[in-house]
Amino acid sequence: MNKIISMKEAIQEFVRDGATLAIEGFTGLICFAAAHEIIRQGRRDLTLCRMTPDLIYDQMVAAGTARKLIFSYLGNPGVGSLYAIRRAVEQGIPAPLEIEEYTHFGMIGRYIAGAARLPFFPLRSNTGSDLPAHNPAIRTVQSPYADGEVISVVPPLNPDVAILHAPRCDASGNTQVWGLVGMQKEVAFAADKVIVVVEEVVDERIIRSDPNRTLIPGLIVDAIVVEPYGAHPSYVQGYYDRDNAFYLEWGELSKDIEATNRWLEEWVYGVPDRAAYLKKLGEETLARLRPGQAPSEPVNYGVYA
């Protein structure tokens, strides 16, 4: 079965109106290419899950795709606020946005419980905080062991669809990640459907030469999209740098609703796909983001015939 399809096809087939969707990736490996295609296809009423909504969900909220946001850090990392999401939360523009808030460890625990099909995840957090008073899903249980400690728990999170960016996979979807791996593995196992978006598809032999690096097995991958630079303006370790200049630029332009809409018009609705976006972005920007070389030393797995 050929799992490799276009981004257009992947979004058409797997992301429905009203779906619970997680496009994860911590600072790096954030699949903006998928978000832009979802905006172009006019999806509505999505429940968006991400630890750090980042610019990707700021853009999706600005475009009116979302009904609800499940998150743990609502900022433009290293820059400041996410103004489109703030407009939605504070003023209901372009539409009211329901929020469900956790701490980072709380979101991590939700994905772990989801992936392991457990009813909850216990963690030493939330105690003493005002957050549980505003999120009834954050509860406590008493340990049946030892001193009967009362501990905070969070419920499982099982998205309908996860879209996860990665450097490479093989044709079956065995996906390898290096650099920050974030929660990509846990989200993949927690989700009902998994779309992996990669910089390149490589021969199965390359994946099998270094099996320790495989984070997501093809077993749980429903579709593969090959989309070089699909994570820009976030980054892929060793392929391209984070476009910090754009994160700073968005921090300014997103303060203004008209400027935000103009940006969406030009860079999302105004291009048919990622290839056109990259052409518009230009070789100069891509060259600026290209890192130097730092290959790892190969290891010897041994032959045991």
Partner 1 sequence: MTDHAYTASEMMIAVAARHLAGAQTAFVGVGIPNIACNLAIRTTNPNLALIYESGVYGAQPARLPLSIGDPTLVSGAAAVMPMADLFMYYLQGGLVDVAMLGAAQIDRFGNLNSTIVGTDYAHPKVRLPGSGGACEIAINARRILNITRLSKRTFVEKVDFLTSPGFLSGRAEREALGMPGDGPQAVITDKAVLDFDPETGEMRLAGLYPGVTVDDVRAGVGWDLRVAPELATVEPPTPEELRIMREELDPTGLYRA
Site membership for partner 1, residue 183 (CB under 8 A): yes
Site membership for partner 1, residue 247 (CB under 8 A): yes
Closest distance between partner 1 and the C-beta of residue 242, in Å?
Answer: 7
**Judged by CB under 8 A, which stretch of 8-16, 126-134, 164-172, 225-233 contacts partner 1?**
126-134
Query: Per-residue contact track with partner 1, 143 to 182, x per CB under 8 A?
Result: ------x----------------------------xxxxx
In DSSP notation, the chain reads: ---B--HHHHHHHH--TT-EEE---SSBS--HHHHHHHHHTT--SEEEE-SS-HHHHHHHHHTT-EEEEEES--EETTTEE-HHHHHHHHH--SS--EEEE--HHHHHHHHHHHHTT-S-EEES-STT-SHHHH-TT-EEEE-SSTT--EEEEE-----SEEEEEEEEE-TT--EE--S--TTHHHHHHHSSEEEEEEEEE--HHHHHT-GGGEEE-GGG--EEEE-TTTTTTSBBTTTB---HHHHHHHHHHTTSHHHHHHHHIIIIITSSSHHHHHHHH-HHHHHHT-----PPPP-------
- Beta carbon nearer to partner 1, 262 or 288: 288
Out of 4, 79, 93, 275, the only residue in the binding site for partner 1 (CB under 8 A) is 79
Out of 47, 59, 65, 125, the only residue in the binding site for partner 1 (CB under 8 A) is 125
- Beta carbon nearer to partner 1, 57 or 71: 71
Give the interface size with partner 1 as a residue count (CB under 8 A). 53
Out of 43, 110, 165, 185, the only residue in the binding site for partner 1 (CB under 8 A) is 185
**Judged by CB under 8 A, which stretch of 11-19, 37-45, 81-89, 222-230 contacts partner 1?**
81-89
Site membership for partner 1, residue 226 (CB under 8 A): no
Site membership for partner 1, residue 32 (CB under 8 A): no
Site membership for partner 1, residue 259 (CB under 8 A): no
The residues of the shown chain that bind partner 1, judged by CB under 8 A, are: 26-28, 51-52, 71-75, 77-79, 81, 85-86, 89-90, 101-105, 108, 111-112, 123-131, 134, 149, 178-183, 185-186, 235, 237, 241-242, 244, 247, 291, 294
